[in-house]
Structure 1
Amino acid sequence: MTWRPALSRAAALRHCDVRHADLLIVPERIVVLNEEAAAIVRLCDGARTVEEIVAEFPDGAGEDVTEFLERVRDEGWIR
């Protein structure tokens, strides 16, 4: 089965106009995302595979995107 990353039920992605940044809101924590991280998380809709998400970024970014997805999955922010 191919992993199709999606935000966990306990996580929400919100934009903060004050900080001019996207925030990942998870239990007992708010994570300020940089542009690249926010772009990756926005694509985690449960419909796209990791390969489809990686394809949205420039060549050579695949390993970084995959590592980021694995890290946030380990944190429990995506499933």
Structure 2
Amino acid sequence: MAELPSMAPQERPRLAGHFRLQWEEAQKAWVLLYPEGMVKLNGSAGEIMRRIDGRKTVGEIVEELEHAFATEGLAQDVHDFLVIAQQQGWVRT
């Protein structure tokens, strides 16, 4: 049986090499650009993706988001998104 993907709090995600994250004014959203097209991110996904730099750990990203939005308990949501992003090939660890 294949192991389910995971993203541990100490891992340092980075954008996969052929993707570029940028704010797209025409879309009023963060987008991932790649040679074959574009992925428009929703607000939450954009906030997570713009913090991925290969230096911050998943835990640090969660802390930064919780501080920025004055909330707690985002760890599971961030983890779940990062697993999907990893499955899509958008991020690597």
Q: Same fold (TM over 0.5)?
A: yes
Question: Residues 29-48 of structure 1: matches in 2 within 5 Å?
Answer: 29-48=37-56
Corresponding position of 2:61 = 53
Residues 30-71 of structure 1: CA distance to partner in whole angstroms, max 9, x if unpaired? 111112111100111000001111112231111000110111
* Aligned twin of 1:12: 20
Please report the RMSD computed on the Cα atoms of aligned residues, expressed in angstroms: 1.6
2: CA distance, partners of 1:34 / 1:76? 17
For 1:2-51, what per-residue CA distance to the aligned partner results, in whole angstroms no more than 9, with x for missing partners? 31001011110011111111111134231111121111001110000011
Number of equivalenced pairs: 79
- Unpaired stretches in structure 1, ≥5 consecutive residues: none
> Which structure's CA Rg is the greater one?
2
Q: What is residue 74 of structure 1 aligned with on the other side?
A: 87
Structure 1 CA distance for aligned equivalents of residues 45 and 34 of structure 2: 15
- Runs of 4+ residues deviating >3 angstroms: none
Matched-pair identity in %:
38
Unpaired runs of at least 5, structure 2 = 1-9
